Amino acid sequence: MKAIKVGFFGFGPRGGSYVDQFLMNDAEIVAICEAREDWLERARKKFGDGVAYFTDPEDLLRYEMDAVFLANNFHEHASWAIRFAASLPNVMVVLSGMSSVEQIEDN
């Protein structure tokens, strides 16, 4: 089976905590976007040169991958999920404490 190529939008404590789950399921982490340089450096130490690193989500949006995992600021989840869904078949979002479309739209 071909590994799914995943990009991460947000690699802070929340986003970074999910990466091992993807790796255990044979995903290939191909790109990471993180605005905070210290968190991006943590990702660089973990993955080295085999991953593309961005601070601007517009660059991640244009990157070639099969899926994106959104662990960015919660109030931006919906707008970025819609934008990524326009070009990717798989968009996964961390939605802390939300269980309905109405809750997502309200946040």
The 3-class secondary structure across the chain, one letter per residue, is CCCCEEEEECCCHHHHHHHHHHHHCCCEEEEEECCCHHHHHHHHHHHHHHCEEECCHHHHHHCCCCEEEECCCHHHHHHHHHHHHCCCCEEEECCCCCCCHHHHHHC
pLDDT for 40: 95
Provide the pLDDT for residue 13. 86
Position with higher pLDDT, 107 vs 26: 26
* 30-89 tens-digit pLDDT: 999 999 999 999 999 999 999 999 999 999 999 999 999 998 887 777 888 889 999 998
